[in-house]
Structure 1
Amino acid sequence: MPEVLSDAGTPTERAEVASTLPAWFAHQAALSDQAIALTAGGTSLSYAELHQVAGGIAARLAAAGVRRGDLVPVLVPRRHIVPAILGVLMAGAAYVPLDPRHPDTRVAGLIGRVAAPVLLTTGALADRARQWHDGPVVLAETAPDATCPPVDVTVGPDDLAYVMFTSGSTGTPKGVEITHRNVTRLMAVTAGLYELGPDDVWTMLHSFAFDFSVWEMWGALLFGGRLVVVDDDKARAPDELLRLIDDEGVTVLSQTPSALAALISADEQREARLDRLRLVVLGGERLDPASLGAWFARRGDEQPLVVNMYGITETTVHVTYRRITAADAAADAGSPIGVPLPDLDISLRDADGAPTPAGEVGEITISGPGLARGYFRDADTTARAFRTVSWGPGDDRPTYFSGDLARQDADGELRYVGRRDEQVKVRGYRIELGEIGAAVKAHPAVVDACVLTDTGESVGSTLLAWATVRPGGPDAAELRTFLAGRLPAHMVPGELRVLDALPLTANGKVDRRALLAGARTAPASADPAARQPRGDSLEEAVAGIWAEELGVADVGPADDFFSLGGHSLMVIKVVNRTRRELGADVPMRALFEAPVLADFVGRVRAGSTTPPVPTAS
């Protein structure tokens, strides 16, 4: 183990000496041994305690046969994520995050692809894990075993730290291989930009199968800060998240633009203090600065600072940075993503890989130490995406071709334009529309399918799907249930329709314009009788709110909020109006759990603080 650095060591100096994540964390744990490192599931651990717990996990993994360079699938609830990841890394292995909220078929498929000898999980999930994994299963929450000697393994900076599977255009997720050096240089560079340190309190809001979690976790733990792992319910309920930010004294918050828009809407109702919040980092999807106008009008743009960071899993979370101001919100000048991090280079290139002329749109290509090793067991896809190209005379470098399009301003700053292919980002998740289409077509009665988004990559975009089926095949509700069993919730289309045939252009291709035009017309209920009012004035009031927010003519008891085009931002608006206009104490998650009007009305009725609404006779 390298010598422990003093407090005077800069982040870059620490990254040079402690060039792997477990070594750097060990340095910080020695410096901050009694400081609180982690708050999760109602329990807090100091740096010394977290290091000890993770060391115990590492010892059990080693005793089960895990060796340097192995992959370890990790299937754990949120409160166990951080010790589990640290334990895998301390064992010299790389973790493969498996979100237990994802459907069984997806989790099982990834376990099968990785074919790792050992799987890390918890007692509550062990039976589920053993259905798909025949080898040893190690439990993350087991007390330290005296028979397991401490792990003493040397890990190099170019060893893998994790393999994260993203959505794949062929219907198969792609595993991105990220090394320790990829992550440590990211944290060293950004620490200098944002003055990260021991006074910071971070939230882990995102799934550890989403690379924002890498930034959240190490931004706290490598610099002596405290990491608060936020429960799923609070992460999805902006009003509760605002309360948590105040109660925990959060200083650094990472959000997708969609999530921040929901938080801004909740803040308009609650007016949180946010007195310690100094930095909001946006990423994961396209930012429309105008969406921050109300926030800046109320809070200004100095405290907290808002920074937009464009990034890609294949280039280790973040690539560029740009402070966003009130002037940006008023300018209506596209989506600014700024300049590359100091250790990365960006070039805009045409379809042939040649640099585009100044001011023209080109594909974002990246070179530098953030580039992933490649894709897991996929040499062909790796060769297509990671190419060696010229950056000047005698300067040929490995370069990642992102598929993202941008334009460079005269001052050198980049503005994001869109995607070259069918990949989109919805609520922060990178999604290949082809993967969703493949899942729809996997139903034995589906003949063909098309998947689009209604507004490209803008905030609040909704996934739309159309399918043609064989006689006697599934209706839209049945098909939606089928997809929910195969795809994560963020990939299930918000609107799904079954058609007799997909419209075609004169060239025989699917007429996407026609599909999108039809999507703007509210779908008819499968049961017309279900759309008739039942005489319940509370139901009529809730239906009226839904209809106004969704832009549909009317809503019946059997209608599903998400099938009518609802999405997470509309959830915030609908629930806030329901609270304000109907006096109902209903949580944000109620609409996710009860998306059918009649069921949601039941939740509203149970939470009503006003006299019962009479039913008309």
Structure 2
Amino acid sequence: MGAIVPELNDRTCLTTNPAAAADTLHAWFARQAARSPRATALTAGGTSMSYAELHESARHIAARLVAAGVRPGDLVPVLVPRSQVVPAILGVLMTGAAYVPLDPRYPDTRLASLAERVGAGVIVTDDELVVRAKAWYAGSFVLVGDAADPDCPAPSVEVAPDDLAYVMFTSGSTGTPKGVKITHHNVTRLMAETSAIYDLGPDDVWTMLHSYAFDFSVWEMWGALLFGGRLLVVEDDEARAPDELLDLIDREGVTVLSQTPSALAALAGSDELRPAGLDRLRLIVLGGERLDPATLSGWFARRGDEQPRVVNMYGITETTVHVTYCPITAQHAAADAGSPIGVPLPDLDVSLRDEDGAPTPVGEVGEIWVSGPGLARGYFDDDDATARAFRMAAWGSDDHRRTYLSGDLARADGDGRLFYVGRRDEQVKVRGYRVELGEVGAALKSHPDVIDACVATDTGDSVGSRLLAWATVRPGGPGTDGLRAFLADRLPGHMVPNELRTVDSMPLTPNGKVDRKALLEQARTTSRTVGPAPQDAHRVDSLQAAVAGIWAEELGVPEVGLGDDFFDLGGHSLLVANVIRRTRKEIGAQVGARALFQAPRLADFVERVRDQAATPVSAADDR
């Protein structure tokens, strides 16, 4: 494979296939399927499909959709297991419609709301999820597992590159998710522009680790399928367990891995304890959240920075996944120079602007403005939001005048390399997902017994940031458990606060606004002491106390009781990796991540640890 990137300030266009970039996604895929029909296209759910088989499966789904009344320009929600995502999406695109991803992990209230907003006439699902969907949707369904109908011909429709490919809903500052409208050409030009940078081809094996409701999945899916590679769809339990994921990458010969920085930090921690071969892994693409290069110091010390190469890509859903790219080296990890995001892709222009729209000088912070063919068509059913975010600039060529104001802040060095700084509003990234604090606060305030609410993150936009929330509640109202359950019924898991507290009143700044800094300082002060909950202290043994201390420190809570559930306390898969790594190092128990997923209650997890501890610890010790 060739070099990942030329000199970073080389702005020469690297597009290798302009004709393909001007086509639709399913037409490009169909040509690849005709070129290599027997090659393995997809491995999912323990089975593999060739390019010809995947194409045929998608054609059958498309035929059933047309028979159900789907027409070009329609929006079709897709609610399927991970193993069925690819043929379902391809089938929708073949009809000329655009897909709307509905992640089955989202609560039903949110899924129902999104389906209603897009005016869904048909939902693509499977025979298990359809039972759940019928509780909130009264329309038609097309099931991905149904046998092909020989009397139902495959669709033959005209689809243009500028037609919509998908509408992806992200967190919205007003309390309502925003639907970003992306065309076929938005995606095909991304893949054409990056194909030479990364030397993409039929020898590559890509992982699909991310939810298809998160735009990183778009990069993963088409990066494999448009260039003849193999797409390995990773199931949730393997994706959440870093040690198992390392084994899978090694066993399947993965060559291209896409990760958020925090997920790679967890993977690197497992690799430190039990290094894997990773002989074929040549490229790790980071994105979705701010990168602190220092977190990769250990990885680079063990593996160097040439094999695999690590590249950080900054991107936004509204500009089609990726905007800039920057190879990360051991020098970056040691430099403490900020979060490098590099230079724009060859067909995009990026400028840094101040509040008046004027260019910012070298070294000064400005808002990232993006122009070029990656820009989304706008927001679904929201002309006002579209007009605010997408504007016509007074400079640039005609096809680069339309500009997206990202809200992200960066600075540039003398060579034009960009360094990400943060946000100018209340949007944050949590495990790669965009979260508008206003949407979480609005959901909390919608509870009839909540008087006021405030939401913040403990570490801003950095790796491992956690959502914290405070609420003032009417007398007799719900406690924190009740409020968390209320939010879990309305918001995706990544938007439910890791820690939720009730307060008598909100501290205010001199101008009468809620003082987030005071609330955060109070949270930090009350979270400094770690250990088992007082009610359990008289009956814990030394092992229970040690594990409870690890949990409390990683979760950022004052204490953990024997009956507490790791995930109810705000734990997630990235924190699981930290807990497992520390448990192995500090206690000497060779437990895997799956143990914590299977036994999330402290008392149960401790027994798993006790069974694997290097020095046996009796439950009677230190009673």
TM-score range, shorter chain: over 0.9
Q: Identify the residue that residue 371 of structure 1 maps to in structure 2.
A: 375
C-alpha deviation, 1:18, in angstroms: 6.2
Q: Distance in 1 between matches of 2:503 and 2:304?
A: 49
Q: Identify the residue that residue 512 of structure 2 maps to in structure 1.
A: 508
Given candidates 197, 200, 204, the residue that maps to 1:196 is 200
Q: Distance in 2 between matches of 1:498 and 1:528?
A: 19
Q: Identify the residue that residue 399 of structure 1 maps to in structure 2.
A: 403
C-alpha deviation, 1:130, in angstroms: 2.0
The question of 1:486 aligning with 2:490 is answered yes
CA offsets 1:307-343 (integer angstroms, 9 cap, x no match): 0100000000000001111111110001111110000
The question of 1:206 aligning with 2:238 is answered no
Equivalent runs, 1:380-419 vs 2, <5 Å: 380-391=384-395, 397-419=401-423
SS of the equivalent of 1:123 reads: coil
C-alpha deviation, 1:431, in angstroms: 0.7
Question: Residue 377 of structure 1 aligns to which amino acid in structure 2?
Answer: D
The question of 1:437 aligning with 2:444 is answered no
SS of the equivalent of 1:532 reads: helix
Preserved CA contact (<8 Å) 2:563 2:601? yes
Q: Distance in 2 between matches of 1:106 and 1:589?
A: 29
Preserved CA contact (<8 Å) 1:336 1:415? yes
CA offsets 1:523-579 (integer angstroms, 9 cap, x no match): 699x97534231444422322333454566654324454676755443212223334
The question of 1:546 aligning with 2:556 is answered no
Question: Residue 184 of structure 2 aligns to which amino acid in structure 1?
Answer: H
Give the root-mean-square deviation of aligned CA atoms.
Answer: 2.3
Q: Identify the residue that residue 6 of structure 1 maps to in structure 2.
A: none
Given candidates 154, 164, 169, the residue that maps to 1:160 is 164
The question of 1:40 aligning with 2:44 is answered yes
Given candidates 532, 536, 539, the residue that maps to 1:534 is 539
C-alpha deviation, 1:506, in angstroms: 1.9
**Change in CA separation of 1:255 and 1:596 when aligned onto 2, cut-off 3 Å:** same
Q: Identify the residue that residue 3 of structure 1 maps to in structure 2.
A: none
Q: Distance in 2 between matches of 1:594 and 1:382?
A: 46
CA offsets 1:454-489 (integer angstroms, 9 cap, x no match): 111111111111111000111112211221121111
Preserved CA contact (<8 Å) 1:321 1:339? yes
Preserved CA contact (<8 Å) 1:460 1:567? no
Preserved CA contact (<8 Å) 1:210 1:429? yes
Taking every aligned residue pair, what percent have the same amino acid on both sides? 72
The question of 1:571 aligning with 2:576 is answered yes
**Change in CA separation of 1:540 and 1:58 when aligned onto 2, cut-off 3 Å:** same
Q: Distance in 1 between matches of 2:414 and 2:118?
A: 46
C-alpha deviation, 1:441, in angstroms: 1.1
The question of 1:183 aligning with 2:187 is answered yes
SS of the equivalent of 1:444 reads: coil
Q: Distance in 2 between matches of 1:480 and 1:305?
A: 41
Equivalent runs, 1:230-269 vs 2, <5 Å: 230-269=234-273
SS of the equivalent of 2:549 reads: helix
Preserved CA contact (<8 Å) 1:496 1:563? no
Question: Residue 258 of structure 1 aligns to which amino acid in structure 2?
Answer: S
Given candidates 610, 617, 620, the residue that maps to 1:615 is 620
**Change in CA separation of 1:553 and 1:343 when aligned onto 2, cut-off 3 Å:** closer
Equivalent runs, 1:339-358 vs 2, <5 Å: 339-358=343-362
**Change in CA separation of 1:565 and 1:105 when aligned onto 2, cut-off 3 Å:** closer
Preserved CA contact (<8 Å) 1:460 1:568? no
**Change in CA separation of 1:418 and 1:593 when aligned onto 2, cut-off 3 Å:** farther
Q: Distance in 1 between matches of 2:465 and 2:349?
A: 30
Question: Residue 246 of structure 2 aligns to which amino acid in structure 1?
Answer: L
C-alpha deviation, 1:399, in angstroms: 0.6
Q: Distance in 2 between matches of 1:522 and 1:569?
A: 23
Preserved CA contact (<8 Å) 1:522 1:564? no
Question: Residue 154 of structure 1 aligns to which amino acid in structure 2?
Answer: E
Preserved CA contact (<8 Å) 2:20 2:28? no
Question: Residue 408 of structure 2 aligns to which amino acid in structure 1?
Answer: D
Preserved CA contact (<8 Å) 1:166 1:175? yes
Q: Distance in 2 between matches of 1:83 and 1:182?
A: 21
Q: Identify the residue that residue 588 of structure 1 maps to in structure 2.
A: 593
Q: Identify the residue that residue 470 of structure 1 maps to in structure 2.
A: 474
C-alpha deviation, 1:133, in angstroms: 2.3
Using the TM superposition, name which of 194-203 and 351-360 deviates more.
Answer: 351-360
The question of 1:600 aligning with 2:600 is answered no
Q: Distance in 2 between matches of 1:372 and 1:24?
A: 20
Q: How many equivalent pairs are there?
A: 607
**Change in CA separation of 1:31 and 1:396 when aligned onto 2, cut-off 3 Å:** closer
Preserved CA contact (<8 Å) 2:21 2:191? no
Using the TM superposition, name which of 307-316 and 499-508 deviates more.
Answer: 499-508
The question of 1:65 aligning with 2:69 is answered yes
Preserved CA contact (<8 Å) 2:164 2:182? yes
CA offsets 1:97-150 (integer angstroms, 9 cap, x no match): 000011111111101111121110000111222222222100011121112112
C-alpha deviation, 1:589, in angstroms: 4.4
Q: Distance in 2 between matches of 1:186 and 1:535?
A: 56
**Change in CA separation of 1:186 and 1:508 when aligned onto 2, cut-off 3 Å:** same
Using the TM superposition, name which of 550-559 and 224-233 deviates more.
Answer: 550-559
Question: Residue 241 of structure 2 aligns to which amino acid in structure 1?
Answer: A
Q: Distance in 1 between matches of 2:100 and 2:203?
A: 30
C-alpha deviation, 1:50, in angstroms: 0.4
The question of 1:76 aligning with 2:93 is answered no
Q: Distance in 2 between matches of 1:198 and 1:212?
A: 20
Q: Identify the residue that residue 277 of structure 1 maps to in structure 2.
A: 281
Preserved CA contact (<8 Å) 1:258 1:427? yes
Q: Distance in 2 between matches of 1:25 and 1:190?
A: 17
CA offsets 1:401-427 (integer angstroms, 9 cap, x no match): 000011111111111111010001111
Q: Distance in 2 between matches of 1:156 and 1:211?
A: 21
Question: Residue 602 of structure 2 aligns to which amino acid in structure 1?
Answer: L
Question: Residue 442 of structure 2 aligns to which amino acid in structure 1?
Answer: A
Question: Residue 126 of structure 2 aligns to which amino acid in structure 1?
Answer: T
SS of the equivalent of 1:533 reads: helix
Q: Distance in 2 between matches of 1:374 and 1:327?
A: 39
SS of the equivalent of 1:227 reads: strand
Q: Distance in 1 between matches of 2:49 and 2:475?
A: 58
Q: Identify the residue that residue 290 of structure 2 maps to in structure 1.
A: 286
Preserved CA contact (<8 Å) 2:21 2:189? no
SS of the equivalent of 1:390 reads: coil
The question of 1:336 aligning with 2:340 is answered yes
SS of the equivalent of 1:521 reads: helix
Q: Distance in 2 between matches of 1:84 and 1:609?
A: 48
CA offsets 1:363-411 (integer angstroms, 9 cap, x no match): 1011100000000011010000001011259998111000001111111
Query: What are the ranges of 5 or more consecutive residues in structure 1 without an aligned counterpart?
Result: 1-9
Using the TM superposition, name which of 394-403 and 314-323 deviates more.
Answer: 394-403
Q: Identify the residue that residue 124 of structure 2 maps to in structure 1.
A: 120
**Change in CA separation of 1:563 and 1:35 when aligned onto 2, cut-off 3 Å:** closer
